[in-house]
């Protein structure tokens, strides 16, 4: 079974991820660092995720290159609004 990925640019994060709390995401920073975890909260300035070790990471939107997540039909519908 193939997977489709959704890629969201950092500047679009707030508009596209609002309402997707607890969705698993990969956050790629401009310096190449990648974080994986579940989305906890998002604001205009910060994306907060909880990784698999239960650590919280507050990532400033200005440092985010892109956010990548696996898609489902429902998730794709929400993100593509």
Mean pLDDT computed over every residue of the chain: 88
Query: The domain 5-79: what is its CATH number?
Result: 2.30.30.100
Q: What is the pLDDT of residues 27-55, one digit of tens each?
A: 999 999 999 999 999 999 999 999 999 99
Q: Where are the domains of the chain?
A: 5-79
68 neighbors 7 (Cβ within 8 angstroms): yes
The span from the CA of 50 to the CA of 2, in Å, is 26
Instruction: Output the pLDDT for position 34.
Output: 98
Kind of pairing, strands 56-60 and 5-9? unpaired
């Amino acid at each position: 079974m193939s997977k489709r990925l959704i890629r969201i640019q950092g500047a679009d994060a707030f508009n596209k991820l609002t309402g997707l709390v607890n969705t698993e995401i990969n956050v790629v920073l401009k310096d190449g660092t990648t974080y994986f975890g579940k989305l906890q909260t998002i604001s205009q300035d910060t994306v907060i995720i909880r990784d698999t070790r239960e650590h919280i990471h507050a990532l400033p939107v200005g440092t985010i290159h892109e956010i990548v997540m696996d898609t489902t039909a429902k998730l794709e519908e929400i993100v593509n609004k």
